[in-house]
Amino acid sequence: MRNIISLLAVLALIFTSGISTSAADMNCSDFSTWKEAQDFFESEGGPESDSHGLDRDGNGLACESLPGFDSTYDPHEGSNGIFTDTGGYWAEEDINLLYNMGIVSGLPDGSFGIKKSINRAEAAAIITRHLDLSLTKSPFNDVPSNHWANTSIGAVAAEGMMSGYKDGSFQPNEPITRAEVASMLERAYELTGKSAISFTDISSKHWAYGSVQVLVNNGITSGYPDNTFKPKRNVSRSEFASFAARIIRNENTTIAGGEIAVSSIDVGQGDSILLETSNGNTMLIDGGHRYASDEVISHLHRRGVSKIDLMINTHPDADHLGGLIGVLETFPVGKVIDSGKVHTTQTYNDYLTIIDEKNIPFEVAQEGQYLDFDENVIIQVLNSGNDSSDLNESSIVLKVIHEDVSILLTGDATIENEMEMMQNYNVDVDVLKVGHHGSDTSSSKEFIRAVSPDDSIISYGDNSYGHPDSAVVQRLNSVYSEIWSTYHEGSILLETGDNGYSMMSGDMY
């Protein structure tokens, strides 16, 4: 079975075959009124795609100096869903799930395009990026070398996942039908099985009959209420999102729906985060300074933790690594994942020594990998490296995805790391663990806009570094993120439940 979970990292921009570039040539002087500028700004995607700089303050408002500016206008009001056209729609839950997982994105006008058909080129690109196929020049006569999906189309053709027509064409801009999608998904995901359900409009002699049976057997579709499948009907973006969500939920590596709890432990000037699942699995990310070890251990005991299934050391700075040593001495640890960045301190040497003495499995994180931890969450490594002289740049960054919440844990990742992550991944999440204790070496304006967190957590204590930097706090405020800090609130607990997620501080035991 091909690895379904790789879908998370590769599809965020596939559903759009092109992005409008007209805004790149626009500036505030091109509009006569503020309303014109604001309407144009929002139609181009708002703050997340403001390459032309109309929103100079990062508050969602364009060209505030123009005549007619309305200071009472709230750009965040009026949406009934993540996208302007998904609120209350039958596929909203599936679309939201895939969006939060970084699989799909919207159109420049803020909509998802729920009724817009997906074309063959887009489908080819989805399969190629998802399965990380080797890019191959397209053999088809209607796909020029400069076509945006040329090598993706060549890749799926080479793998036998999609084929062309008898005249040598591929017809990249043509919509893809339900029968074609059935065949494509069966081949790409190596699905099997046969259903007892039959449809009145697709006989056993139909070329896609077997593929349709496989989709039904795997719970990906059940056809229409009138007992038809409509094999020639074009697949809409919302239908494809629903198919993809069902495939993901069906896999062993997918979100199963159990609850999680995430503790940002008050370790003073440092980081330590505990992730617990309803299956009883635990992950500890960093442990603060060595002197904070007792506080981490006490927190684990109060939470009823008796083992650590997965320990993450984001990087070897003492305020992240030190407290893990006491945990290693106190609790059984199933595996340690490290950035691979070597350090020369005694603390780092003690950490490696106890791992070796206890024969604990040790692994170096790889950017892009998914951690095998628990079916209730999907966890992807967005940054990790040992080729930089800067310890912070080696930080492991994790994106945690649960069906009720998405979280970005950034370690001490730098602005340079942030730029790379924005280019390679969808970093938009509900909750951000602010990088490097709120230092201005992290949390660039562009990154905060891209993440757009509803809640942000800054872990810090008394320090001489000026953490958190006032500019970082201002950037978080500009995207209307609620700021939590271990300095003011103490340890902070996030819990999922029937109504999404909630956060609290103080007595969490």
On the question of pLDDT at 53 being above 60, the answer is yes
Question: Is residue 46's pLDDT more than 60?
Answer: no
Do 461 and 491 contact (CB within 8 A), yes or no? no
Residue 142 buriedness (CB in 10 A; 0-12 / 13-18 / 19+): middle
**How far apart are the C-alpha atoms of 166 and 168, rounded to whole Å?**
5
Per the CB < 8 A criterion, the answer to whether 124 and 149 are in contact is: yes
Helix (H, G, I), strand (E, B) or coil at 13: coil
From CA 144, how far away is CA 167, in angstroms rounded?
16
Q: What is the pLDDT of residues 118-152, one digit of tens each?
A: 889 888 887 777 677 899 999 999 999 999 889 98
Are residue 283 and residue 185 in the same domain, yes or no? no
Interval 396-446: pLDDT, tens: 999 998 988 999 999 999 999 999 888 778 788 999 999 999 999 999 999
CA–CA distance, 185 with 126 (Å, rounded to integer): 11
pLDDT reading at 20 higher than 70: no
pLDDT tens digits along 155-171: 999 998 898 999 999 99
476 and 328 within one domain: yes
Asked if residue 38 belongs to a domain, the reply is: no
Contacts of 213 (CB under 8 A, 6+ apart): 193, 194, 195
Q: Is residue 69 part of a domain?
A: no
Phi and psi torsions of 13, nearest 5°: -110, 10
- Give a yes or no: residue 32 inside a domain: no
Give Cα 467 distance to the centre of its chain: 27
CA distance 255 to 100: 12
pLDDT tens-digit readout, 194-245: 776 778 999 888 998 999 988 887 778 877 777 899 999 999 888 888 887 7
Residues 232 and 316 in one domain: no
Residue 74, domain member (yes or no): no
Residue at 30 is within a domain: no
Q: H or E segment at 240?
A: helix 237-250
* pLDDT for position 173: 93
Q: Please classify residue 383 by burial: count the beta carbons closer than 10 Å to its beta carbon, then call 0-12 exposed, 13-18 middle and 19+ buried.
A: buried
Q: What is the pLDDT of residue 16?
A: 35
Please write down the HEC assignment for all residues of 111-179. Answer: CCCCCCECEHHHHHHHHHHHHCCCCCCCCCCCCCCCCCCHHHHHHHHHCCCCCCCCCCCCCCCCECEHH
Among 229, 250, 271, residue at a domain's last position = 250
Looking at residue 13, what is its pLDDT? Answer: 33
Phi, psi torsion values for 153, nearest 5 degrees: -65, -40
Last residue of a domain, one of 192, 215, 250: 250
Beta-bridge partner residues of 26: none
Decide: helix, strand or coil at residue 347: helix
Tell whether 403 and 422 lie within a shared domain: yes
Co-location of 363 and 490 in the same domain: yes
Q: Answer yes or no: do 494 and 345 share one domain.
A: yes
The answer to which of 57-66, 372-381, 465-474 has the lowest mean pLDDT is 57-66
Is residue 33 in some structural domain? no
What pTM does this model have? 0.56
Residue 174 amino acid letter = E
pLDDT of amino acid 346: 94
- The burial of 217, by beta-carbon neighbours within 10 Å (0-12 exposed, 13-18 middle, 19 or more buried), is given as middle
Instruction: Write down the H helix ranges in 279-405.
Output: 293-302, 318-330, 346-357
Residue that terminates a domain, selected from 198, 226, 250: 250
What 3-state class would DSSP assign to 436?
A: helix
On whether both 243 and 267 belong to a single domain, the answer is no
pLDDT at 197: 75
In a domain, 156, yes or no: yes
- Give bridge partners of residue 260 from the DSSP assignment: 277
Tokens 């003492």 sit on residue:
318
Strands 310-313 and 282-285, by their bridges, are: parallel
- 337 and 455 assigned to the same domain: yes
Domain enclosing residue 109, as ranges:
4-16+81-250
481: region left, alpha or beta (phi > 0 left; psi from -120 to 50 alpha): beta
Tell me which of 476 and 257 has the higher pLDDT.
Answer: 476
Asked if residue 475 lies in contact with residue 446, where contact means CB atoms within 8 angstroms, the answer is no
User: Do 287 and 196 share a domain, yes or no?
Assistant: no
Could you tell me the CATH number of the domain that includes residue 425?
A: 3.60.15.10
Quote the DSSP letter at residue 442.
S
* pLDDT reported for residue 252: 38
Number of domains in the chain: 2
**Better-predicted residue by pLDDT, 40 or 275:** 275
| Distances from the Cα of 272 to the Cα of 261, 262, 310, 489, angstroms | 14, 11, 13, 15
Average pLDDT, the chain: 84
CA–CA gap between residue 4 and residue 88 (Å, rounded)? 28
Q: Which of 328, 326, 332 is nearest to 355 (CA)?
A: 328
80 pLDDT band (50/70/90 cuts)?
low
- 189 and 295 part of one domain: no
Residue type, 363: E
What are the backbone angles phi and psi of residue 402, rounded to the nearest 5°?
A: -125, 155
If one compares 311 and 506, the residue with the highest pLDDT of the two is: 311
Asked if 200 and 218 touch (Cβ cutoff 8 Å), the reply is no
CB atoms within 10 A of CB 494: 24
Per-residue pLDDT band for 251 (boundaries 50, 70, 90) equals low
Q: Are residues 210 and 348 both part of a single domain?
A: no
Amino acid sitting at position 492: I
Paired tokens of 235: 């697949």
- The pLDDT tens digits for 350-377 are 999 999 999 999 999 988 888 989 888 8
In angstroms, the CA 291 to CA 233 distance is 64
Residue entry with tokens 């040598």: 168
Contact status, residue 383 vs residue 416, Cβ threshold 8 Å = no
Q: Does the pLDDT at position 338 exceed 50?
A: yes
Task: Please indicate, yes or no, if residue 480 is contained in any of the structural domains.
Answer: yes
Q: Return the H-helix or E-strand segment holding 244.
A: helix 237-250
Do 232 and 354 lie in a common domain?
no
Backbone φ and ψ for 487, nearest 5 degrees, come out as: -65, -40
